[in-house]
Structure 1
Amino acid sequence: MENKIALFWFRRDLRLDDNAGFSHALKGDCPVLPLFIFDSDILEELPQHDARVTFIHETLQRMRDRLQDKFGSSIAMYHGRPEDIFKELLQNYEVQQVYTNHDYEPYAKERDKKIAALLQERSIPFTSFKDQVIFEKDEVVKDDGDPYVVYTPYKNKWKSLFDKKEHLVSYDTEAHFGNLVKHSRLPNLSLSDIGFRTASIKVPEFTVTPSLIENYEATRNFPAKENGTSRLGPHLRFGTVSIRKMMKKAIAEDNEAFWSELIWREFFMQILWHFPHTAKKAFRSKYDRIEWRNNENEFEKWKNGETGYALVDAGMRELNQTGYMHNRVRMLVASFLCKHLLIDWRWGEAYFAEKLLDYDQSANVGNWQWAAGSGVDAAPYFRIFNPMTQIDKFDKQKEYIRQWVPDLQELTYPQKMVDHKMARERCLKTYKEAVS
């Protein structure tokens, strides 16, 4: 049994700087052993070439290299069920305390409950901190304590509570790296050790420059614009960048549109925290009565970008080839699946969960339910995007379409799989029967 230590458990916070829980651990009384667990319960659901697993693994290796080279420490990496890994750690180390940062998704809450109970049996404190958001859980609620379910009032309350001095304080970790466990040969894992291969798709670097923020309102709706969006999503999802640093940039440029996007993220996170059932069921329960057609052949055409609607197909092909899809196009392809094809939003949500590099359960569920009309602050069910007029609004020169649908003028390009007018009327009738 080694000397007394504290554990810091990295999860959605893959960075060494400005990390709340890591900072508190390093300021504690015991040397800190950093830890990451490749959770087998999560990994077994993913394809072997999943780009997000490659990204996590590469990020961790860079973090290990830095700690080894500069501070004679490292990060211990394990693969398995977190409960089993912690039992093993408790046999090998004299653990005095476990630190981590909050995670708000239903699976994560259950996992942490089990770990807390295991540690409590041995009288080991399990301490968690707010790190991936500015406001969490029930910190932004109505005056009567009820959660907000409409975005604009939530945003207004968020802004009224926000204080730069209080909420944008950075956590200085490097000054305390002397309190890391001095051991540079902690357990490491290759991708093949956990059953994965290096992905061909790469997570792109994010671009958050003053000019991007300044022009964000003007450029963000046009998918052909090369640098119209930040590509920040995966980095916030896995915590390779601090939300406090990004919020500081947004505020420095005083851009309402960019700021608002970051607040949307927190809105959906608190919705999933307050209403965990929405991960699988409609927020508005009457929408679970919809008689979905769920035609598997039509679902395959949608997935492969073979619907015959050029902007829908461009979005799906971009997703399949890059792991990314422009946000404006995400709305259209989601609406098309739910309303033109009457396929359950959960099917689309699951496909996005498999493909999106920036997949975040709260935002994905929230946006899919918005498109289906079943969620909080949702588009009314009778709002059905016309895939043709959307081109006129957002890709008039067809630059985006030409990039992703080069076969548009070929004889092989599929015919429209459904007539817009017929599909619209069928949707209105089906929804009306379910919800009225």
Structure 2
Amino acid sequence: MAGLGSYPAWVRGRAGFAAVVAVGLLVTGVGGWAALAGSRNGDGSGGAESGTGGGLSAAARSELAERLHLPWPDEGQTSIEVEGIGSLGSRGGNRPVPIASVAKVMTAYVVLASHPLPDGRPGPEITVDAAAANEALSRSESTAPVREGQRLTQRQLLELLLLPSGNNIARLLARWDAGSEEAFTRKMNRAAEELGMTRTRYTGASGIETDTVSTAEDQVKLARAALKEPVLRKVAGLRSTEVPGVPGPVVNTNRLLDKPGVLGLKTGSSTPAGGNLMWAAETDEAGGAGRTDGSGESGGSSAQGSGADGGGGGEGGGNGAGAAKRLVIGVVLGQRARTTPMEGLEAVFRRTGALIDALQRELPTALAPTSPSRSGSGSGSGSGSGSALGPAPLAPRTASALAPRALAPRALPGAVRPTAHLIGGRS
């Protein structure tokens, strides 16, 4: 790893901000973390646009999407949503496809619905059973090294679920929560139905099953709900952690956490599913990502140990305390499917990184209100020379402008990582 410096804190305590845009009338959208402050069911009954703040009309969102020069992946499915704005659109259709270990976000969500962890508490101790210990020895799927009889807290097991993507931990938590993985899977599907995920079906807790399928649009709905769970948010944002009895630091499979402004959430890869990523990132209100290149995540220590939330490195990401932020969530599925899990992961990191870079670079400018001097009209309605969304960002001059910054390989001596394999949910 290129240094375990501090990383984005999940709980930033920032107020949302109002973005005023003119589309005949002035429409106000409230973005940032304030949009996530409601209850877990505050997004209504699960409609496609619920929970987005309803900030812009469909016409304004369409204009915004056209003005952003986003490098949408040319394969698989992609869906992006901006808090306080709504959907920026989707690409690749809406046919349910395998999602691999992205399914573990629902696993964590369902566990926390039944067993919430308030105030950062570790939760009850859970005994590792023989099945989870035996599965830890598997070389055909991603697992976490645990032994029979070991006692770990609910929080520690959530870390082993989401960071190294332990399939054995997913099934252990399912048995602990519901008595059997089958019963737990029924709870997962009920939760999906409540969130309006109409094209999703879970057939297991880990995501290794090829008939666990969903769409990018459905998974965005889950991401929106998952971000309202403080523990899930914090754990998914950890670069690494220490779990007693587990050798070495436990490293997150999500390499994009090395990018300033990236907050999570979960990788997934398999030969049938390709590379998949559910992600969340912040953009700055006034421009950039609130980052200082080279040291964007201010220099505290990385999160180590259960319960760490990354607060030791400061909360500003190098942009100054209290700066307004917009939260962007997205899902990219099916990158380099039917190759190897590693090829799929590399592709999804590269393409998602390019999307995040473009959004952090261009979204703040695209959302800037048009001044009267620019539009030629004080009313904001314009006479054809102005725009509801302010000045258009300049198109990148070369294709390289869209390329994500290189991410240094992350390697720690003795680090717990899933083993590579050709078939199954690697991460």
Q: TM-score range by the shorter chain?
A: under 0.3
Structure holding more helix per residue: 1
Structure holding more strand per residue: 2
Q: Which has the higher contact order (CA 8 A, sep 6+)?
A: 2
Report the TM-score, using the length of structure 2 for normalisation. Answer: 0.23
